[in-house]
Amino acid sequence: MSEKRKPNNFLDLAQWSRRDLDGVLALAAELKADPAKFSQSLAGKSLAMIFKKSSTRTRVSFEVGMFQLGGQAIFMSSTHTQVGRGEPLEDTARVLSRYVDGIMIRTYEHAEVETLAQYATVPVINGLTDFLHPCQVLTDIFTIQEHLGISLSGLKVAYIGDGNNMANSWINAALQFGFDLKIAAPDGYEPDAILLERVRQQAAGGGKVSVVNNPLIAAQEAQVLNTDVWASMGQEEEAESRRQVFAGYQINEDLLKVAAPEAMVLHCLPAHRGEEITAETFERFQDLIFTQAENRLHVQKALLVTLLGD
């Protein structure tokens, strides 16, 4: 990837070219195969990590990733910094840009990530918002390529459950990488309407996206089945009502019977066994699911080298 074409931020898959995304995936494979080769790639570089949402995988993978690349990560909780006391993100962005080489944020409102990127003079990475989770879906694409070893063009992917940030991110991935995506969600819980309108207007990568209410239809001949929790962080008060609404939207052995013989199951974790996925199916695919979790480290290291590297 030439310096001239190098992207400035990673907020949304749709903002990157297919060529640049493929470059990150190829670099992630190199980093996973030979991490020692890149042990000083970000020597002397620092990453500020702003967390308004709690985290296990995002924090550890970015923090360890920076360490393995020779740099350092600085954890910033909203409860222990001026961010949580009302300092505008515009000011936070400008201050941090004087101290660090990059900023990662995990928050609720997507507008906050965009504001941070607008005012920062260093690269900004979207670690998660209520609208999108691009680091996770890029990791999922990497895991699919690694496991199935086939072209993404024409791949059949099913997403079962809430039309949340993961469903939205899968839509962007389908358009960028050119695979077929079927999302099964209950009425009223479909993915973002503006994003679905974009699907109808643009399918430059050749991807096809459809939303159905029947999980069996979505899973028909699918090579990849994936899901997420029924109640995301911040929706705890809706958890009980959502259990009733989503009762039929579960990845289980019955769903796998209509999927392709080589079907793989993904879950971005944490998993609520007995809700969005059965314990039986989770354990059947647990090695793949935890490889998927591990791959967050490799893919995010590739992003960090791409964005922060010289």
- Which amino acids are annotated catalytic? 106, 133, 136, 228, 268, 296
Rounded CA-CA distance 132/16 in Å is 14
CA–chain centroid gap for 8, Å, is 18
Which candidate, 307, 305, 296, places its Cα nearest to that of 40?
305
C-alpha–C-alpha distance, residues 180 and 194, integer Å? 19
Helix, strand, coil percentages for the chain (3-state, nearest 5): 45, 15, 35
Alpha helices in 106-213 (DSSP H): 110-119, 134-148, 165-177, 193-201
Give the tokens for residue 212: 């159905």
β-strand pairing of 224-227 with 208-212: unpaired
DSSP string for residues in 102-126: EEEEE-S-HHHHHHHHHH-SS-EEE
154 within 8 A of 190, measured Cβ to Cβ: no
Residue 73 and residue 48: Cα distance in Å, rounded? Answer: 6
Q: Which secondary-structure segment (H or E) carries 18?
A: helix 18-33
DSSP three-state, residue 211: strand
